[in-house]
Amino acid sequence: MLSVPAGYDPARPTPLIFAWHGRTGTAAGARSYFGIETASGGAAIVAYPQGLPVTADPNDTGWELTASGRDLAFYDALSAELRATYCVGSAYSMGHSFGGYMSNAVACFRGGTDPGEIRAIAPVAGGGPFGACPGEPVSATVIHGSNDTVVPIAQGEGSRDHWRAAAGCAATSTPIAPAPCVAYDGCAGGRTVRWCQHADTQFSGHGWPSFAASAAWALFQATP
């Protein structure tokens, strides 16, 4: 599923956002609540990939997170097709739950500034990456609930710590908008790493917080 803004100008590079749904989810479902089209004010192309089953259950949709898996190949092919069709600028990734894991995986393997690579990510209630990452460090806003009983907050903290270390950030941070986000100090290479720990209890603490889209878009704007 693809959203191209009404004001798209083929002569001007437009940001591209990949928005990955959670496990058992759909592209249409992600679009219905992510809110990134509204947050971006029509300033970005948004691609909502549709996952394939990860078990024998046809409704158990999700993502393969490995370097040689089908979904990294899917990302490469989709990115190339969109760049061949539209005037695309920098690319970003966001996702919820299993989609948050996928955002971390894509950044791990395809982080960088070249065409087809990811500049910044905003995983929500996800985890990873796991192991060494061949891609360049990226900017990240990691969003996770302290009450999450589906994906424990330790998974989000692991993502935060991975990208903070990769970007050479300090352990100290400064509060930023939207609350409750903070930005870590002293990150290298023009990168920024942000952490948004919230206390929502909806959906066992595993929901999509109201500030998620605005926090993601703020990061993407700050990472041209």
| Residue 2: predicted pLDDT | 98
Q: How many Å apart are CA 138 and CA 130, to the nearest integer?
A: 15
**Confidence bin at 98 (pLDDT 50/70/90):** very high
CATH code for the domain in which residue 192 is found? 3.40.50.1820
Contact call for residues 222 and 139 (beta carbons, < 8 A): yes
For range 80-107, the mean pLDDT: 98
For range 73-91, the mean pLDDT: 98
Range of the domain at 44: 2-222
Q: How many Å apart are CA 116 and CA 224, to the nearest integer?
A: 15
Query: pLDDT, tens digit, for every residue of 164-199?
Result: 999 999 999 999 999 999 999 999 999 999 999 999
For range 203-207, the mean pLDDT: 97
| Residue 201: predicted pLDDT | 95
Q: How many Å apart are CA 12 and CA 119, to the nearest integer?
A: 18
For range 109-133, the mean pLDDT: 97
Tokens 């394939």 belong to 52
For residue 14 the two structure tokens come to 């437009």
For range 64-81, the mean pLDDT: 97
Q: Which of 140, 220, 135 is nearest to 187 (CA)?
A: 140
The count of other CB atoms within 10 Å of the CB of residue 123 is 33
Query: pLDDT, tens digit, for every residue of 13-53?
Result: 999 999 999 999 999 999 999 999 999 999 999 999 999 99
Q: What is the DSSP string of 175-199?
A: E-SSTTEEEETT-STT--EEEEEE-
How many domains, the chain? 1
